[in-house]
Amino acid sequence: MTYSIIARCQRTGRFGVGSTTFSMACGRRHESVRPNVGISKSQAFYLRYVDPLALNLLAQGYTPQHIMRTLAADDPDFDYRQFGIIDRENNVVAHTGPGCGQWAGHTTGPHYAAYGNGLAGPQTVAGIISGFLKQPDAPLEERLMMALEGGRDAGGQVSKGVKRPERSAWIRVVSQLDFPEIDIRVDLHDKTVAELRRIFEEFKRYRDYYGARCDHPRNAVPEEDFVAGLDARAA
């Protein structure tokens, strides 16, 4: 049980993934996003080597559509896999095998895919998308956060008629550099999407400071002084 969104920002070309699940530490899977190449994010009964393979194929020039056929041909258990792939030309595919359980499904848009398994129903995927589309001019990371909240508020995950908590969550956005622009995680928490929002809001307060500390270390003020200034302004 997991629900995710993968997307390419139409203004900046940045790639981003937002994901939340009952399993722990879903954000460990950063091999699923590659700058200037695309995203391949598999879930349900996922094999970890598939996303790096799909991204290598994308980098070689194959289309997501062809890669999906390649993966299907090489996998006797393809019916149990769920994944989405997006490339830098906005080609999007998604696959939900019939073995992924109830309810499982996906919706692809012109530059995004939302998908999940072990969900309350199609309303969870619809909630992800309406969250993502709510503020089309917002930065991609904001839209991914709203997508996860939209999925949660639409019912999130249900298994055997019982609501299942999201326990881990993750947002990652990459631009042209190797290093991500944002990568924040909650690995184990009983209200993980709300906790991710809390960390996201904190991270935004630090973001420029951390960037400047890397780029212009000569001018950096000690972080505890920066934090004291933040707290003073908030008070």
Partner 1 sequence: MTYSIIARCPRTGQLGIGIASYSIAIGMYCDGAVRANTGVTLTQGHPNPRNNYLAINLLAQGRTAGQALAELIGNDADSEYRQIAIVDRENNAVAHTGASLRKWAGHRIGKGFVTFGDVLAGQQVVDALAAGFEAAPEAGLDERLLAALEAGRNAGGMAGGKGRLPERSAAMIVWGNRTYNEVDLRVDLHERAVDELRRIYIDYKPSIAYYEERARSPRNAVPAMEFADMLKNQQQQKTT
Minimum CB distance to partner 1, residue 160 (Å): 8
Cβ closest to partner 1, residue 91 vs residue 168? 168
Cβ closest to partner 1, residue 224 vs residue 231? 224
Contact 13, 174 (CB under 8 A): no
Cβ closest to partner 1, residue 126 vs residue 220? 220
Sorted by sequence, the CB contacts under 8 Å of residue 143 that are 6+ apart come out as: 7, 16, 131, 132, 134, 135, 136
CA 185 to chain centre: 10
Query: Where does the chain have alpha helices with state H?
Result: 50-60, 64-73, 122-133, 140-153, 192-215, 223-234
Contacts to partner 1 by CB under 8 A: 1, 22-25, 27-31, 45-49, 51-53, 77, 80, 99, 118, 159-160, 164, 177-180, 182-188, 198-199, 202-203, 206, 210, 213-214, 216-218, 220, 222-224
Instruction: Read off the DSSP letter of residue 42.
Output: E
Minimum CB distance to partner 1, residue 147 (Å): 19
Return the structure tokens found at 213: 């500390």
Cβ closest to partner 1, residue 91 vs residue 157? 157
Cβ closest to partner 1, residue 110 vs residue 162? 162
Minimum CB distance to partner 1, residue 39 (Å): 15
Closest Cα partner for 163 from 178, 148, 152? 152
Minimum CB distance to partner 1, residue 125 (Å): 19
Three-state secondary-structure class, residue 195: helix
Minimum CB distance to partner 1, residue 8 (Å): 20
Minimum CB distance to partner 1, residue 133 (Å): 27
Cβ closest to partner 1, residue 66 vs residue 164? 164
Longest dimension (CA), the chain: 60
The partner residues of 164 in beta bridges, in order of sequence, read 157
Closest Cα partner for 146 from 136, 157, 131? 131
